Structure 1
Amino acid sequence: MKRISFTFVLLLALAAKQGYSQTGFTINGNVTGATEGQKVYLRAEDNPGKIQDSTMVKNGTFEFKGNVAYPQFYTIVFGKQPKQRFGSAIPLFVENKKISVSAPLDSNATELELNYTGGYPYDKVKVKGSATHELFVKYINGYEPLKKQNSTAFDAYIKYLNPGKDKQKGPIAEGIKLVEAIDATKAVLLGYVSNFIKQNNANPVALYVARKNIGTFTASEIDQTLASLSPELKASAGGKSLIEKAAVVKKTAVGSKFVDFAFNDKDGNPVKLSDHVGKGKYTLLEFWASWCGPCRADIPHLKEAYELYHPAGFEVISISMDDDKAKWLKAIADEQMSWLQVSDLKAFTGDFSKIYNFNGIPTCVLIGPEGEIITRNMRGLWMDKKLIELYGNKFGAKF
């Protein structure tokens, strides 16, 4: 008699707990605004670049059939039509059931809103037959209002930074109150996310939520999140994928020790982070590039903060994500930055951005005296707030 693996038993237990069938799924779609013969694609969340299946719209309808090992998040994407910048998209959780989907393909229901900018009209998408999707909608209905509060707080901060033509920014103290409001609304949002995961720790929706938010958690929060998930969920393919991603993110999450890395300075001399970081001082790692407009715009403020706080022990290392040495050196000369400048000149093709878990710049990480990561948001008024907390107010009348 063959032995049944422990993982297989756990997966069966998960399927049973979810009331799950292994007979496969059928998705019947009914859409308004689609073109006859328009291509329709089915994509898995854990592999967004891969097309799982494709079909065409016929008489305003389409159909997909297949099988999933456990309930998973998918996106139905419609081929772009003339004058469309982004293809329309429908998110749903797929399980091995008969599922019906109806939605209007208007200009708001696009991949852009779903994946990047927010504001996706979830209320316009009607899904029947997937209990997992119902839980996902319940999560979204709680998440979106909290996200809107955070966005509103951030909009107030942007208005502070850009008061309008011929108007001066308010005092630093006013800006600090605004970033504190952003942080407060974000804490409520992440608290909701964490509680949802814990309260639904045996449901695949918890995997989706954890995967989407794992990059915002501290090292201890990552451990707590993984510990809260059921053994069956962690044994699934999605659970294993989450655990692998969490291990990568945790290496440079707040609360972890910095990860060492080798560069060259602007004169071509070899430099390691450990030569300068964790030496009893607070050190800002500023990730930037010569081609990055927002990075360059932040430099005058960073120079002011450095001049005020460097005598008290504040250090800065600028790590360029350039791949063109001449452009990098010219930008250093133009900006006249007096602190250490390093780069591996591999931009985002190297390992550094993967290790430090970022895909956009500017990104600013503060390292503590013992080499611990204090914050991954050391920009703008957040930087001013932290410097004042650490060293006192040195901004004088600007405060």
Structure 2
Amino acid sequence: MSRIKQALIITLFAHGLLFSTMASALSELDGKAITFEELVGKGKWTVIKVWASDCPACRASAHHIVDFEMSNPDVDVIGISLDDTSGKTDAEQFIDEHNFTFTNLLSNPSEVDDHLYSTAKKSFIGTPTFIVYNPQGKLTAAQPGLVTAEALSAFIQKQSAAEKATQPAS
């Protein structure tokens, strides 16, 4: 069976188990558990790219998140690999291959789906997916598919301007 078919079956199975079992926590590459809430709301925009090492679109678009991070040092960039802890070696190879210098975590589709549903009433569709939080930690976007560095930058600039316009004058 091809890796893509296996990944699809695993994803569908994990999604089906979403409401019958607790989703596991995100974990750092060293195994330390961490939550989405610990990643965001630190006074900076946060962009999370959800990816998988066997995802062709993730490979094709990896340079966009690297370019975004380099041109936006004031934004926290975090990667979440859906290779889970069992695929840590594959995730680490992907990180090295694409020169990801930002923090990368391990998770699974169920955990990401649980988070998106609980925060935005949206289901996780697949990889790649970009999740954007404002400096206060509020989810402002969850976009599946390819997103360029320019589009991410423009979105954050537009949202920042809109948030400043709605703040009361001091």
Name the residue aligned to 1:385. 154
Alpha-carbon offset, residue 286 of structure 1: 1.0
Taking structure 2 as the reference length, the TM-score comes to 0.65
Structure 2 distance, partners of 1:277, 1:389, is 19
Name the residue aligned to 1:369. 135
Check the 8 A contact 1:365/1:376 in 2, yes or no.
yes
Alpha-carbon offset, residue 390 of structure 1: 6.0
Check the 8 A contact 1:265/1:343 in 2, yes or no.
yes
Structure 2 distance, partners of 1:388, 1:354, is 28
Name the residue aligned to 1:332. 95
Question: What SS does the corresponding residue of 2:137 show, helix, strand or coil?
Answer: coil
Name the residue aligned to 1:296. 59
Q: Runs (4+) of structure 1 moved beyond 4 Å?
A: none
Q: Deviations over 1:276-305 (max 9, x none)?
A: 201111101211110111112111121111
Structure 1 residues 6-21: aligned runs within 5 Å: none
Structure 1 distance, partners of 2:111, 2:27, is 15
Q: Is 1:360 aligned with 2:126?
A: yes
**Cα separation, partners in 2 of 1:351 and 1:276, compared to 1, 3 Å:** closer
Check the 8 A contact 2:49/2:80 in 1, yes or no.
yes
Bigger radius of gyration among the two: 1
Question: What SS does the corresponding residue of 2:143 show, helix, strand or coil?
Answer: coil
Check the 8 A contact 2:26/2:111 in 1, yes or no.
no
Structure of higher RCO (CA pairs closer than 8 Å, 6+ residues apart): 2
**Cα separation, partners in 2 of 1:355 and 1:274, compared to 1, 3 Å:** closer
**Cα separation, partners in 2 of 1:264 and 1:389, compared to 1, 3 Å:** same
Question: What SS does the corresponding residue of 1:376 show, helix, strand or coil?
Answer: strand
Check the 8 A contact 1:309/1:391 in 2, yes or no.
no
Taking structure 1 as the reference length, the TM-score comes to 0.30
Check the 8 A contact 2:112/2:124 in 1, yes or no.
no
The aligned length equals 128
**Cα separation, partners in 2 of 1:268 and 1:373, compared to 1, 3 Å:** same
Check the 8 A contact 1:295/1:362 in 2, yes or no.
yes
Structure 1 distance, partners of 2:93, 2:61, is 17
Identity %: 24
Q: 1:278 aligns with which of 41, 46, 63?
A: 41
Q: Is 1:322 aligned with 2:83?
A: yes
Structure 2 distance, partners of 1:374, 1:355, is 14
Q: Is 1:265 aligned with 2:37?
A: no
Q: Deviations over 1:246-279 (max 9, x none)?
A: xx9xxxxxxxxxxxx8321122222222222011
**Cα separation, partners in 2 of 1:371 and 1:387, compared to 1, 3 Å:** closer
Structure 1 distance, partners of 2:140, 2:156, is 12
Check the 8 A contact 1:290/1:331 in 2, yes or no.
yes
Q: Is 1:309 aligned with 2:69?
A: no
Alpha-carbon offset, residue 307 of structure 1: 0.7
Runs of 5+ in structure 1 lacking a partner? 1-247, 249-260, 393-399
Runs of 5+ in structure 2 lacking a partner? 1-18, 117-122, 162-170
